[in-house]
Structure 1
Amino acid sequence: MKRVVLCADDYAISPGVSEAIRRLIAARRINATSVMTVFDGLIEEADCLLAAAEGTDASIGLHVTLTGTFPPLTRGIAGADGHFPALSRVVVAALSRRLDAQAVEAEVEAQFQAFLDAFGRPPDHVDGHQHVHVLPVVRKAVLTATARFAPRAWLRDVTPARAALHGFDVKGRLIGAFASGFARDATPFGLATNRGFGGAYDFSADHDFATLLTHFLKGVPDGGLVMVHPGRVDDPLTARDPLTQQREVEYAVLHGEAMPAILDAADVSLALPDGLRNTAAA
């Protein structure tokens, strides 16, 4: 069976999302989650997650966050409103090499430190909210900080597995273009990455998520990663992120009776591949 990482993004963005992810980890319906460290209450969320993950071998990672309608941990990257900049602004500034490298480095390091303070250990893996970790300028800051704070961690390469693309999949292909050379760039730092990525789709469209998930799981190779965004909608989530009801849809499938059959149909075992297990923090 293929060993695949099924990773829930955005842990700690809201209590409803966090609780849903903990339930899925405890039930072994997912085997990884990525934590946002920019919100209040992180220590309590960390304690609850560690308890839910005990004995499961789940990978708990840092979800580097540089975009959103909420404040960063440091001032340098904040806009005039005190919040992170919009994704479009970060992408344009990164591609034109006009993104403030020092401000990015300071924020990334602050988020690593917040993770260490809350969990008492480095993250098992590192990725980025809205995949910002693969962008120019940000990429260098993330690789450098990971090597410094979590040298045994692995990183998410969002280069799509061809078989996991959904139709022409403009979104998946664009993400993959931004990720060009990411695994190569991680190698000199001694950092491993997953092999193949799936899970990108248009959240606003009317999809059968069970069918999509089966497609993604079948499409990634052994050592691949599929991202998901399960959760329960609550007021903090609605205030912080436009992705709301689709999280409920994903949670229903992941926690539902059909999930074991989905894994069987894809011939997938939710287990860290050896190349990632050997680097994961003890």
Structure 2
Amino acid sequence: MKRMTLCADDYGQSPEISDGILKLLAMERLQAVSCMAESPDWPAAARALRERPGEYQTGLHFNLTHPFTQAGRSLSSVMRDAWLRRMNPMEVERRFDSQWQAFVREMGRPPDYVDGHQHVHAFPVIRKVVARRVRELSATAWIRTPGGRESAPKALVLAWASRGLRRTLGMEGLATNPGFAGLRPYEPQFDFRRAFWKWLTANPDGTLIMCHPGLPSEDVHDPIRDCRPLELAYLTSDDFADDCRASDVVFERPTFSGS
């Protein structure tokens, strides 16, 4: 039997995303929820989380690209400046601290872990700031490493960034997940169930699987809005439970204890 963690990203980005994730929490099908504390919807979303007990962790989904109260930067521009070491560490720290404080203000405690919207926390400069601030702000929080086994160009770039992130976490003495899955093309015709079966069967014990469920939405700022209901439909279905049994996988709350 393998033990894995299912983590839903983007909680708080919009009511439709939050409501879809809350539905999965009510079914006890998630073990981690990554929260966008910079969102104007975050206070209401946080209140709903506080009222939803269960065996799951809540993390800070550090954002530099989605437009909320501040103009979002394109992922390509963030990647370019990060790889060229042109990111301003003080600005990254300011944005991180603001979002951390917003999480603590609404949840009444620090996040259990930190990851990044569009994985920005894995990029050079950003990863050093994030790792240092997590170490300084929390004795127990871990940081998600997003590199998986996929071979698409985007996945290879992310795997390269993740190797640097793991080295940084090791130097800071921070824990991380031993494996990661969930990278996919965000096209409505994508066969999510087939991909999920591969993630269940091809990855080792301790793997964290990322997902992006949500209810139907007209949010023009959400480029993957058409894919979210398809993920939610599968994750709430009997097919999901059947696939977990057939692959001998049990999903459990994260217990990562070392980098």
- TM-score bracket for this pair, using the shorter chain length: over 0.9
SS at match of 2:85: coil
Match for residue 31 of structure 2?
A: 31
Unmatched runs of 5 consecutive residues or more in structure 1? 73-82
Deviations 1:159-218 (A, max 9, x none): 21x3xx2xx322222211121232231123231000111110111262211111111122
Shift of 1:273: 4.9
Q: Within 5 Å, which residues of 2 pair with 1:132-143?
A: 132-143=120-131
> Which of 118-127 and 216-225 deviates more?
216-225
1:266 aligns with 2:252: no
Which segments of structure 1 move beyond 4 Å, counting only runs of 4 or more?
none
Shift of 1:150: 2.5
The percentage of aligned residue pairs carrying the same residue is 36
Deviations 1:49-102 (A, max 9, x none): 1222x1x21011000001123333xxxxxxxxxx02111000000000011111
SS at match of 1:6: strand
SS at match of 2:163: coil
Match for residue 111 of structure 1?
A: 99
1:57 aligns with 2:84: no
Unmatched runs of 5 consecutive residues or more in structure 2? none
Match for residue 200 of structure 1?
A: 183
So what's the TM-score if we normalise by structure 2? 0.94
1:246 aligns with 2:234: no
1:188 aligns with 2:188: no
Q: What is the identity, as a one-letter code, of the residue corresponding to 1:176?
A: A
Match for residue 67 of structure 1?
A: 65
In structure 2, distance between residues paired with 1:111 and 1:273: 22
In structure 2, distance between residues paired with 1:120 and 1:141: 23
Deviations 1:229-262 (A, max 9, x none): 0001334xx1321111100000000011111111
Q: Please tell me whether the aligned partners of residues 124 and 153 of structure 1 are also in contact (alpha carbons under 8 angstroms).
A: yes
SS at match of 1:180: helix
Q: Within 5 Å, which residues of 2 pair with 1:1-150?
A: 1-52=1-52, 54=53, 56-72=54-70, 83-150=71-138
In structure 2, distance between residues paired with 1:204 and 1:9: 17
What is the RMSD computed on CA atoms of the aligned residues?
1.7
